[in-house]
Amino acid sequence: MDKVTGKKRVSVKPTGDPAVDGFLDYMLLERGSSINTVLAYRTDLVYWMKFCDELGNTYYPVLPETQARYLRRLEKDGMSSATRMRRAASLSVFSKYLVYDGVTDGAPLLGPLPKREKTLPQVMTEGEIERMLSSCEAGGEGVIKAAVALRDKTMIEMVYDCGLRASEICSLRLRDLDESGGLIYVKGKGGKERVVPYVGTLRNAVKKYLAEARPVLAGSKVETDALFLSSRGRMMNRVALWGIVQKHGRVAGISRTRLHPHVLRHSFATHLQRRGMDLRTLQELLGHASIATTEKYTHLDTELRDVYDSFHPRARVDKGT
């Protein structure tokens, strides 16, 4: 416990190398990176350390020729271009830190990062989402089961209707809801806050969840002010939300490859963009730092329309008719 802030200290399990551990502490405590970001750095650097151990090399300085062999190994191991790019980027940041901290004299000029493959996000159809929501209504008998079913339906509907990330919906507190105004105050990546409206059926669902389900899940002893609670009255986490989407998605007959909370967020963005929402507004709702990230939904919608034009018998009108 920190005596100054009164909060629990956040730490990362040591790797055994003082320079690597110093880098992780620096990113967490001095740069203010999130614990998830630092854990990702740790994973990447531990993989690098194992690679160096196999070669009998030291972990630093990071030399270009060793980096090139490392990237070839990552590709050989079947890692995606996105993962390879991230691990190469982690190595680059670590190399610069070594110079900053005086561990090495100068950062070698490392090779270019692997090119990231352009992949379009997967989405669900509006009908699939409706089927998933309907599957929550068959929650089974018993007060707890009914409360869990209502919670599941409300969470799925909120992720889709508001385009929230899994971490964002799980971290929502009661105070983040403006029930009278129909607004949700969401803390996104980097602690940035945005305001997202919740209206229509979702607003009614949230009201019903708060009145009927949450008190049952909280029980007699309220340990948290989290908006969504587990059956034991604790804050929900991303793994639990993933399980909810998996469970009800299977009942709805949706392909397992698309049963992830982030697909609901992609579906939210795609459906709004298809209905004509401008990219700037969509960017604000999604909490994207760059408009370029939001533009991928334009490409996705174009691809969907191309497929529609290719297969639907009434999509094209012959010239001269």
Identify whether 61 is preceded by a cis peptide bond (ω within 30 of 0). yes
Question: How many CB atoms neighbour CB 168 within 10 A?
Answer: 24
* 189 catalytic per annotation: yes
What span, in angstroms and rounded, lies between the C-alpha atoms of 74 and 66? 12
Helix or strand holding residue 240 (H, E): helix 238-251
The DSSP code for 184 is: E
Whether 104 and 61 have beta carbons less than 8 Å apart is answered as yes
Which one of 234, 250, 262, 274 is the catalytic residue?
A: 262
* Cβ partners under 8 Å of residue 13, min gap 6: 42
The structure tokens listed for 62 are: 């990071």
Whether 254 and 124 have beta carbons less than 8 Å apart is answered as yes
46: Cα within 13 Å, side-chain hemisphere: 12
Which one of 84, 87, 165, 248 is the catalytic residue?
A: 165
For the chain, what's the residue count?
A: 321
Angle at Cα 164 formed by Cα 160 and Cα 165, nearest 5°?
Answer: 120
* 165 catalytic per annotation: yes
What span, in angstroms and rounded, lies between the C-alpha atoms of 203 and 182? 7
Which one of 189, 194, 203, 234 is the catalytic residue?
A: 189
From residue 40, give the alpha-carbon distance in Å to each of 35, 75, 292: 9, 19, 24
Which one of 86, 265, 266, 296 is the catalytic residue?
A: 265
* Residue from 216, 69, 93 nearest 143 by CA: 216
Q: Which residues pair with 278 in a beta bridge?
A: none
* 262 catalytic per annotation: yes
* Residue from 219, 245, 95 nearest 155 by CA: 245
Any idea of the CA torsion for 88, 90, 91, 96, to the nearest 10 degrees?
130
Whether 140 and 206 have beta carbons less than 8 Å apart is answered as no
Which one of 86, 258, 288, 296 is the catalytic residue?
A: 288
| Residues taking part in catalysis | 165, 189, 262, 265, 288, 297
